[in-house]
Amino acid sequence: MQGLLRRLLLWGPLALSLKNWVLDVAPVSGLCLRPVSRPDVVAESEWVLVQKYGVRVLGRFRRGDVVYLRSLEDPTRHWVRRLAGIEGDWVSDHGHIRKVPQGHCWLDGSSVKGVHSYADCAVPLALLEGRVSHIIWPPSRMGEVESYVPPGRVIRTADRREPAARK
């Protein structure tokens, strides 16, 4: 019993730190990853790999990344959405041209039907917790999550270059 307690006190904080700051496995339900994942396969829920270190510590994210973020309404909930624009970009929002404010990013909700939270809107960068890199469950949908900018979403980038998707 004492050995178990000692191991828990040693490895528990390390495991918790890794989960919060480096890498996490998170459940995703609904249609949030469409069309990112295979649209021909319907799954009740998926498990995704979330890379946190690059976003939370280094601030590395790009247009087109699928991001994992905390909900404004309920801090115990998380959302998965595609990052369409970053601060300073001009984005197309259903026929309207909008500038992404400083300290914010623009999320693309076009793949989410019937979901209004964080669909096509600017949210604070501080809510971003990680980048979804892979779908790991169910096996029929297992694979890397592609990073791409939805066509026609970004009108003009803050750095005046065309958006470049990571492959």
User: Minimal CA–CA distance to 61: which of 158, 162, 132, 154?
Assistant: 132
Q: pLDDT band for position 21 (50/70/90)?
A: confident
pLDDT digits (tens, 9 = 90+) for 33-58: 554 444 444 456 789 999 998 877 77
- Kindly state the tokens that stand for 10: 């040693």
Residue-wise pLDDT for 81-126, tens only, equals: 889 899 999 998 878 899 999 999 998 865 544 444 446 788 999 9
The tokens describing 65, both together, are: 């990344």
Burial bucket for residue 28 (CB in 10 Å: 0-12, 13-18, 19+): buried
Q: What is the pTM of this model?
A: 0.75
Query: Domains of the chain: which residue ranges?
Result: 23-156
**How is residue 6 annotated by DSSP?**
H
| CATH (one of 3.30.420.40, 3.40.50.920, 3.30.1280.10, 2.10.109.10) for 23-156 | 2.10.109.10
Average pLDDT of the residues in 58-65: 86
SS3 label, residue 114: coil
What does the pLDDT look like over 6-19, one tens digit per residue?
A: 888 888 888 888 77
